[in-house]
Amino acid sequence: MESLEKLCEQLGSNDQVQVYHAKRALAQMTAAVGAPGKEAERAELAAALAKAEAATKAKDDKDKTPVPVYSARVRGELARAVSLVGGDMEVPALKQELADFDAREMARFALDRLTCQAATDALAETAVNAVGAEFRVGAINALGRRNGSGAVDALKKCAADADSHVRLAAAEALANHADAAADALLIEAGKQHGHRAALRISKARIRLAENLVRAGQKDAGKAIYQSVAQTAPREPQKKAAQQALAQLG
């Protein structure tokens, strides 16, 4: 099998046949270390991928400003591979990519798929501080699927953001966490938007109530169901809340 350096060269080729074969070889590399008992090999490959991802060189002979060795397209494929085998040690290389507008989406993709705490921290920082509402919403949605410490705190900050898209996305993501205090933020988000947003918030509040009940916070869940049953803008959400109340007794 080709070396990783050679594969990176092929991934950057204008020959699509070479690119295809390089992608296949990289996929085979990650698959080969995915089995139980391959932890050492997996860590070695992950470290090599991250090193290539973060590799820099001088811009030219006169300008010594460091620039990436590989194109954004190549680094995107490396990030995809890191998402399959990486962990805490590889997160700094992906965080470095978040500052590059041409490469940051695949870095966010990889961080979303890593389950380690360092990845959660990087996503939380991105959700709160990154440039661009759409990109931040991607990180916010990722935090809605994670339980690591810091995820809920970041979402609460975003729920009070100046950008309306960020606020609404954060409110909906908070509904995936069993945090009763989040309901006030959802209600506030619903007040600041139109009818369509109010419907989304009602659905999110039902989801929040479900998660609270599952987490053993029955009273908090019931209170939200009762509120939705009275205030939801459409009958399906009202009926869903009423049915949940009937089941809870």
65 domain residue, yes or no: yes
DSSP state of 147: -
In this structure, are 193 and 84 located in the same domain?
A: no
Side-chain half-sphere exposure of 113, counting CA atoms within 13 A: 14
168 domain residue, yes or no: no
Residue ending a domain, among 72, 99, 114, is: 114
167 domain residue, yes or no: no
140 domain residue, yes or no: no
* Burial class for 209, CB neighbours closer than 10 Å (0-12, 13-18, 19+): buried
In this structure, are 87 and 193 located in the same domain?
A: no
Q: Distance between CA 52 and CA 86 in Å, rounded?
A: 13
134 domain residue, yes or no: no
Q: Distance between CA 55 and CA 49 in Å, rounded?
A: 10
In this structure, are 109 and 184 located in the same domain?
A: no
In this structure, are 1 and 106 located in the same domain?
A: yes
In this structure, are 181 and 110 located in the same domain?
A: no
pTM here is 0.88
In this structure, are 20 and 103 located in the same domain?
A: yes
The pLDDT tens digits for 102-139 are: 999 999 999 999 999 999 999 999 999 999 999 999 99
Residue ending a domain, among 95, 114, 133, is: 114
45 domain residue, yes or no: yes
Residue ending a domain, among 96, 114, 132, is: 114
Q: Distance between CA 12 and CA 209 in Å, rounded?
A: 49
Tally of domains within the chain: 2
The two tokens of residue 81 are 């591979």
In this structure, are 14 and 102 located in the same domain?
A: yes
In this structure, are 15 and 107 located in the same domain?
A: yes
The pLDDT tens digits for 11-21 are: 999 999 999 99
Quote the domain boundaries for residue 89.
1-114
161: helix, coil or strand? Answer: coil
Which range (18-27, 52-61, 114-123, 151-160) has the least confidence?
A: 52-61
In this structure, are 109 and 180 located in the same domain?
A: no
In this structure, are 107 and 186 located in the same domain?
A: no
102 domain residue, yes or no: yes
Q: Distance between CA 197 and CA 29 in Å, rounded?
A: 45
204 domain residue, yes or no: yes
Of 213, 203, 190, 193, the C-alpha closest to 236 is: 203
The pLDDT tens digits for 167-195 are: 999 999 999 999 999 999 998 887 766 67
